[in-house]
A and B are shown apart, each in its own frame.
Chain A
Amino acid sequence: MVPKNLLKKLVKICGRENVLYSPTDLYLYEYDASMERGKPDVVVFVTSAQDIQNVVRLAVAENIPYTPRGSATNLAGGSVTPKGGIVIETARMNRILEIDEENGVAVVEPGLYNLQLQNELASRGFVFAPDPASQKVSTLGGNVGMNAGGPHCLKYGVTVNHVLGLEMVLPDGEIARFGGYTQETPGYDIVGFMNGSEGTLGIFTKLFLKMMPAPGGVETLLADFDGIEQAAGAVSAIIAAGIVPATLEYMDQTCIKTVVASLNVDYPTSAAAVLIIEVDGPQWSLAPQVTAIEKILKKLGARVRSARDNTERDALWAGRRGALGAMTRLKPSVVVFDGTVPRNKLPLVLVQIDDIAREYGLFYGTLLHAGDGNIHPIILYDERDEEETQRVHEGCDRIMQLCVNEGGTITGEHGVGIEKIPAMKYLFGEDELEVMKQLKDVFDPQGLCNPGKVLPA
């Protein structure tokens, strides 16, 4: 419980209706989309940088932890509050402040949904490249905080490559701005450093995002394979040939069968895996890319289909887009595992994941953002079954170790949050973790800003 006088002060800053503390409300802010839980002491809705500044100053003065929260779609516990304290909800800071077509910069507030920006840009012939699968609901503040990926990040890079500047409230309560309308900012790359900091180094209040012209055209292919190793091998073969598709997505047989059964899509259920490959660019550049890719795919024994128009394109994508949903209907609970391996290790890693799954008795299907080696085994279980849940945890841990052993990392895009803190030790040594710890201390010496995340205690 928060002391009464603190509540009073929060009400004064944010307004009565913007401060929640009833037991029912607090229960509703103890989770995100992961398995983690942690009850906050109070939730405040902020509408301006000044609100955030005032709340942070108050928290610092009273020595109370605080955690930023957008849509709470985090998959690793990033917006959960294991140490309690104040949840600073930025969902209502969702305006597009400026669209500067001449300089290619969009200035937005952190609570804006990614897709809302995409829609606005599309009407002007531009795109914001990072397109996480959750773009309909995840906020841009969260995307930057997690350095989000997405299918198109293979060709265009992840979020950090598209953020030009940030305004934020630092953990000492000051409002600072790094970068802005220019491509390059002198001095240390604080903007880059803040990307993926998971809300542990301050709270964003304004984002300066890079707009790119929309590509002239796209071509979409569906390739099906008899073996997962050939499918996974095709991924590196395409990129080794000097072609960078816009997206390169992989689905295994379990996913294929599930989407075919529930979504009325036309994927070959006998295939061990399919790749959905999309190339984009000026119209003249598409045909040569497609020809080259088809040649590689056929050499590996794939059957290839291409979409003749937008309807067919949507039909090819429908299965991929609906895969997670269709899978989640099979069992009550789901873990979307997230890890990354060098893409030429995909064939080996996929086989080993299957071995691990068998050992731990896991029911799963695999989706990959295959182009950048980002693996998403979707593990289904029933969280009410404690023994099964334990096996899922242990299996995931083994898969993370596997990723690291093969030269990859423990998360591709979902972040470390709470869930993957123990796995940081697989990836980093004492010295490396100490450097990170010291950096955190420089910004947040009291350790109040989103505590209990990212770094081992």
Chain B
Amino acid sequence: MPQAGLWEEYKVLSDQTLEAVVQCSKCGFCQPTCPTYAVSGLEHEVARGRHQLVRGLVEGRLELDKNLKTALFQCLMCNACYTNCFPKIKTDEIIAEVRNLWIREKGQPALQRYIFHTLLRHPELLGRLLKMASFGKRSGISGLAQVLRCLGWYGKNIANAEGLLESIPKSFLRERLAAQSLIPEKRRGKVAYFVGCGINYAQPDVGYATAQVMNKRGFEVEVIDNYCCGLPAYAYGDLDSVRWFVEKNIRIFSNLQADYIVTDCASCTSFLKEYKRFVPEDSEQQKIVKDFTGRLRDMTTWLYETEDLAEYKTGGNTQTVTLHDPCHLSHYLQEKVAPREVLKNIPAVVYKELAESDFCCGGAGSYNIAHYDVSMKILKRKMAHVKNTGAQVLATACPACIIQISYGVRKFNAPVRIKHVSELVLENSE
């Protein structure tokens, strides 16, 4: 394959990104699958257009300016385009690299720097601040931002997004799990549980259910003392921070003795699988990465693989359940079978398929705060489909989706309860 050719001079972006961009044949098949394009119809809101923008930048026809920024930062990085892309262009990697370029050339916004360089790197500080928010009377996003001492940086976005977060839990998952035994009576093996930030700080009930289910299936649970997986920093192009998190976590993973490494956040699972990109080839770290990704499972996949150990209640009331596929599960890990099969195997579940189940909910980490209006248009479409199912419960497998769709339930009056697959499995287990 020829090298960057006439772009040989252009060293600001990696060869890999240049090759990916030129590989786009502009066929346009990404259009019907791209959520931002679906709600806007604009060429700069779809992978084809974004590839061409990067190309314009490389060829010197476009400047790294505000217009380019809007187009490239408004991408959800949901990867739906990849699923439908003929030459399988990894648009998320292009976007991350151009966002990184933006940071290098224009500087990183103070808020992002504070989150990725201070809060997420010092979990004890983040925990302490969040505790203040939960004990004080502060609620909503602005209360949270006030406590985190970053309210001023959010600007006008914060007012819109106010209702996204209902409350902050009184105790975090790590504290709850530390206070009890996680060794089952009949021990079949051991799971090392990677606790994602969203689960730990916002949805400890989900993580609690995850650990309980693992115990019920005969697995001892070791709670990994991990850092953030690095995905939030990746999404904003802060690749230095990504490498920091990757390095810290790899050091922790090197000592794990467990049959499986499991996380119940689909975003964490998929990003942990990407770690190989951030460590040198043929290095000791690469060996550790290979070893742990071999044992790594998303919780839904783990549930599916250990399905023969499930003991479900029978004879009770049934409930209609539908499924929202988290993007990181369906479009990154290309896993759509496991969550469905797990749900269908529960005797009390009447499974109903959701139209456009793998269409992003618009949550996308903190996208719903940064791009509230676009996010809400995407969520509205999701909630209309959810209502059409008539389901009593919507199951999913990612904390960002749970937060976003729960907000959708309140905002668009959808009579449905949102649960993580782990929670449904636990409720229905003997």
Contact = CB atoms under 8 A, between A and B. Distances in A.
Chain A bound to chain B: yes
Interface stretch (B26-34, B309-317, B398-406): B26-34
A137 B22 contact: no
Given A27-B61, A28-B49, A28-B53, A33 B41 contact: no
B28 A33 contact: yes
Interface residues of B, number: 35
B67 A25 contact: yes
A92 B44 CA distance: 15
A385 B2 contact: yes
Contacts of A33: 25-28
B41 A332 contact: no
Contacts of B136: none
Contacts of A23: 62, 67
Nearest to A382: B2
B43 A29 contact: yes
B86 A137 contact: no
A437 interface: no
Contacts of B28: 32-33, 71-73, 134, 137
A92 B41 contact: yes
Interface in A86-127: 89, 91-92, 113, 115
B26 A384 contact: no
A331 interface: yes
A382 B3 CA distance: 10
Interface in A1-55: 20, 22-25, 27-29, 31-33, 45
Nearest to B5: A384
B189 to A, nearest CB: 31
B52 interface: yes
B29 A137 contact: yes
Contact of B22 (A91, A115, A383): A383
Contact of A333 (B22, B29, B32, B88): B22
Nearest to A90: B41
Interface stretch (A283-291, A322-330, A398-406, A445-453): A322-330
A394 B25 CA distance: 20
B86 A328 contact: yes
Interface string B50-69: 00110010000110010110
Contacts of A425: none
Given A28-B49, A383-B22, A329 B87 contact: yes
Nearest to A116: B32
B23 interface: yes
A28 B43 contact: yes
Contacts of A60: none
Given A73-B28, A137-B31, A382-B2, A324 B86 contact: yes
Given A325-B86, A328-B25, A333-B25, A22 B43 contact: no
A328 B26 CA distance: 12
A22 B4 CA distance: 29
Contacts of B22: 332-333, 382-384
A438 B7 CA distance: 46
B110 interface: no
B22 to A, nearest CB: 5
Contact of A24 (B27, B67, B85): B67
Nearest to A386: B6
A384 B4 CA distance: 8
Interface string A329-346: 101111000000000000
Contacts of A89: 41
B178 interface: no
B179 interface: no
A400 B27 CA distance: 22
Given A137-B32, A382-B5, A384-B2, A25 B25 contact: no
B274 interface: no
Contacts of B31: 71, 137
A370 B372 CA distance: 50
B279 interface: no
Nearest to B49: A28
A136 interface: yes
Contacts of B86: 324-325, 328-329
B424 to A, nearest CB: 29
Given A31-B52, A384-B2, A24 B41 contact: no
Contacts of A72: 28, 43
Contacts of B335: none
A24 B52 CA distance: 10
Contacts of B23: 328-329, 332
B259 interface: no
A24 B86 CA distance: 26
Contacts of B374: none
B148 interface: no
A324 B1 CA distance: 19
B71 interface: yes
B389 to A, nearest CB: 15
B52 A28 contact: yes
Contacts of B65: 24
Nearest to B65: A24
A32 B26 contact: yes
Interface of A: 20, 22-25, 27-29, 31-33, 45, 71-73, 89, 91-92, 113, 115, 134, 136-137, 324-325, 328-329, 331-334, 382-385
6 contacts: A22-B67, A71-B31, A329-B23, A332-B22, A384-B2, A385-B2
